[in-house]
Chains A and B, each alone.
Chain A
C-alpha cells in the first residue's frame, strides 16, 4: 500500500498562474481532505469530501476549488495563484470508523512569487 500520495512535491508559480495538486489514496477511504500549513498557524482545512462526487468548504476555501470524480483521487485547484497561497499543502484521507483517524500525505510545498 502506498497510502496517501501527493503530486507534485514542490512547485513555484508566478502570481496569476494556475495549477492542480493531485492527491491519491489506495486505502478505499470515503473521506478526503485538503489542508494548508503555515508557520505558527497549525493546519487549516481548505475543502473536504465525504464521498465520490461530493465536496464541501472548510475553514479557508477562498481561492481554491476541488473535485472528487473518483473515490481514490481528490484534486485541489488554484485558478489564479496569489502570494498569500504560498504554503505547504497536505492531503489526508480516512473513514468514520476506526476512531476517525486521518492518514496524511507527505505534502506539497508551493511558492507563489
Chain B
C-alpha cells in the first residue's frame, strides 16, 4: 500500500534554516501537505502543494516537490523557538480519495 516516510527527529539552532524531508510512494497523489502539531494540540495545516508544481513559497516556508523521486521537503528559514513542533508530511491517496496518508512525523527541536 501507499507509504509516507520521514525522519523522526531534527535539531537546529535558532536562526538557522531547517529542512524536513519526506518520501512518498503514490504516484497518483494530487496534493501533498505539511501539517504542524504543537505539544498537546491537534494538527494544523501549514502548507500544501499541488502535484503539478515544483515549488511553493509562503513567507519563511519553502516547499520543494521532486515528482520523479517522489520526494517532498519543507524548508523553514530563520527557524525560531516557536517552530519547535512535530511536522507531518501527508498525501492524498489518489485523485478520487477522501483519505490522507500521514508520515510518522518529524520532531523539530530548536536550540536557543
Task: Give chain A's interface residues, CB within 8 Å of chain B.
Answer: 4, 31, 33, 40-43, 45, 48, 50, 58, 90, 92, 96, 99-107
Contact = CB atoms under 8 A, between A and B. Distances in A.
Given A40-B8, A43-B88, A90-B43, A101 B99 contact: no
B44 A42 contact: no
A88 B109 CA distance: 22
A39 to B, nearest CB: 9
Interface string B30-41: 010100000011
Contacts of B48: 99, 101
Contact of A58 (B33, B50, B99): B99
Main secondary structure of the interface of B (DSSP, over half): strand
Given A42-B105, A45-B99, A48-B99, A104 B31 contact: no
Contact of B44 (A33, A50, A96, A104): A104
Given A40-B8, A104-B43, A106-B41, A96 B102 contact: no
B50 A99 contact: yes
Interface of B: 8, 31, 33, 40-45, 48, 50, 88, 92, 98-100, 102-105
Q: Which of B8, B45, B48, B98 has the most CB of A within 10 A?
A: B98
B87 to A, nearest CB: 11
Contacts of A99: 31, 48, 50
Given A99-B48, A102-B45, A104-B42, A50 B105 contact: no
A42 B104 contact: yes
Contacts of B100: 45, 100, 102
Contacts of A96: 98
A100 B92 contact: yes
**Lowest 8 CB-CB distances: which A-B pairs, in order?**
A104-B42, A42-B104, A43-B102, A104-B43, A42-B102, A101-B45, A106-B42, A99-B48
